[in-house]
Amino acid sequence: MLVPPIPANESTRLNTLRTLSILDTPAEERFDRLTRLARRIFGVPIALVSLVDENRQWFKSCVGLDASETSRDVSFCAHAILHDDILMVPDTLMDERFQDNPLVTGEPGIRFYAGCPLTVPNGSKLGTLCLIDVKPRGLDEEDRALLHDLGRMAGEELAAVQLATLDPLTQLSNRRGFEALSQHALNVCKRMSRPASLLFFDLNDFKAINDTYGHAEGDRALVGFAEVLRDALRESDVIGRLGGDEFVALLTDSNISETAAVTRRLHEQLAAHNSAAQRGYEIRFSVGQIEYDPQDHASIAELLAAADAAMYVNKRASKAQAGQRV
């Protein structure tokens, strides 16, 4: 048996999958309809919508099989997401990748597999719509085209879920997407006893930008700040726009001094952005910083509330200091 290799974009792929908050959710008719249709059209006993997680494949929809997930290392679908086209295995006993796979030698006794990768707009292949039979067989060109169509439909349903987790203006995670991804990151930090920090940003005098320059310019300022956040923070950090002029960033495996260095870099890059933009105003922010403590913060919601409160303390202090200077 050949254990499936890890895709080159695995970090992005897993982040995308987890942002959807779809793993371990109840069955949905929009996916079940596709697997029922696939089983009937192709005359196979098993059809699945399978999502490939870090260490498992989990079935969002499953007809003809009692299991809800399997280990990733025995997963056919983990091989299929490495390809753009359908992965077809006419006879598993004739394929060295699968001939001694426990899903072949034991239940459900897979002899035929065909999986169409499910791709979302950022290019990540999150899983497959797949067909399984207990006897060898193949697909002709018409069959393959039909499986492509059904796979495209399943991919579009996943894309619809993805759009519900993205802020359309900045393309950062929205509140739902940020909370889902950050909660997973906090769980990992807790399990591995790693530090994390949450930064809660509020843009200063943002209403004045809208009032003076118009909402289109306000949107441009929001997009500009989002770009600076992306550039200043690490790829492993989780960034989101909660709404309005509020942004957040969860820095994982980051101690106090490292978080301070990130904040300094953000100030420097934002100053450079303001200087280059020359739009008649400057983007400025107040920030609240909270160190993650598993004893005090049972969830990302509690950490967000604490960082929000810290941000407002910072904002009031800055305004008072500005008033004293005047």
One-letter identity of residue 126: L
Provide the token pair at 33.
């309809």
Residue 59's nearest CA partner among 125, 132, 127 is 127
310 touches 297 (CB < 8 A): no
224 touches 283 (CB < 8 A): yes
232 touches 266 (CB < 8 A): yes
80 touches 130 (CB < 8 A): yes
Domain ranges of the chain: 10-163, 175-325
Coil, strand, or helix at residue 50? strand
Residue 246's nearest CA partner among 282, 298, 179, 200 is 200
Q: What is the pLDDT along the chain (326 residues), one digit of tens a residue?
A: 899 999 999 999 999 999 898 999 999 999 999 999 999 999 999 999 999 999 999 999 999 999 999 999 999 999 999 999 999 999 999 999 999 999 999 999 999 999 999 999 889 999 999 999 999 999 999 999 999 999 999 999 999 988 888 899 998 999 999 998 898 889 888 888 889 999 999 999 999 999 999 999 999 999 999 999 999 998 778 999 999 999 999 998 888 888 989 999 999 999 999 999 999 999 999 999 999 999 999 999 999 999 999 999 988 887 777 665 43
Q: Which CATH class for the 10-163 domain? A: alpha beta
Whether this prediction's pTM lies above 0.95 is answered by: no
DSSP for 96-155, written as a single string = TTTTT-HHHHSTT---EEEEEEEE-TTS-EEEEEEEEESS-----HHHHHHHHHHHHHHH
Residues 6+ positions from 321 with CB-CB distance below 8 Å? none
Residue 96, classified by CB atoms within 10 Å of its CB into exposed (0-12), middle (13-18) or buried (19+), is: exposed
CATH code linked to domain 175-325:
3.30.70.270
Residues 6+ positions from 252 with CB-CB distance below 8 Å? 185, 188, 189, 194, 196, 236, 237, 238
Provide the token pair at 90.
């006419």
